[in-house]
């Protein structure tokens, strides 16, 4: 798993709940994420990063773990993310707008006990 994808899923696991309303990271970890889900996340993240570069947004002051954390939270409108003060105002607004274009996604547990996007 790519480093940035790992940070993305760490946030996804602690911010998601299972069908019993338990935090996913209580019972699941990175090894439980399906290959299909990893590939889908890689595609979204690669597109997100390419668009940051295309727009000339300077994210150099923020490490990959913070960017992926905030990408997951912002795209899913968790009440925290790029807009909440850790980024210069214009950068935070641009990253928020970009993240929200990806839409909401959720994790769910498949019949094989692997995690997938809904």
DSSP 111: T
Q: Give the HSE-up count for residue 85: Cα atoms under 13 Å, Cβ half-sphere.
A: 2
Taking the chain (118 residues) in runs of 10, the rounded mean pLDDT of each run is 94 92 94 97 97 96 93 92 87 96 94 94
Q: Encode 46-68: b = buried (16+ Cβ within 10 Å), e = exposed.
A: eebbebbeeeeeebeebebebbb
Strand blocks (E) in 1-118: 107-109, 115-117
The closest of 60, 73, 91, 62 to 9, measured between CA atoms, is: 73
Phi–psi pair at 20, nearest 5 degrees: -100, 15
**If you compute the radius of gyration of the chain from its CA atoms, what whole number of angstroms results?**
14
Query: Residue 29 and residue 53: Cα distance in Å, rounded?
Result: 31
Residue 79 has what pLDDT?
A: 81
- pTM of the complete model: 0.92
Residue 45 has what pLDDT?
A: 97
């Amino acid at each position: 798993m790519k480093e940035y994808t790992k940070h993305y899923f760490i946030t996804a696991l602690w911010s998601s709940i299972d069908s019993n309303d338990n935090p996913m990271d209580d019972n699941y970890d990175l090894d439980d994420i399906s290959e299909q889900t990893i590939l889908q996340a890689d595609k979204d993240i690669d597109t997100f990063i390419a668009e940051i570069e295309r727009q000339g947004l300077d994210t150099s002051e923020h490490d990959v773990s913070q960017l992926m954390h905030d990408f997951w939270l912002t795209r899913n409108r968790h009440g925290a993310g790029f807009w909440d003060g850790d980024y210069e105002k214009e950068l935070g607004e641009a990253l928020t707008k970009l993240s929200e274009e990806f839409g909401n996604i959720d994790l769910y547990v498949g019949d094989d006990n692997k995690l997938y996007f809904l």
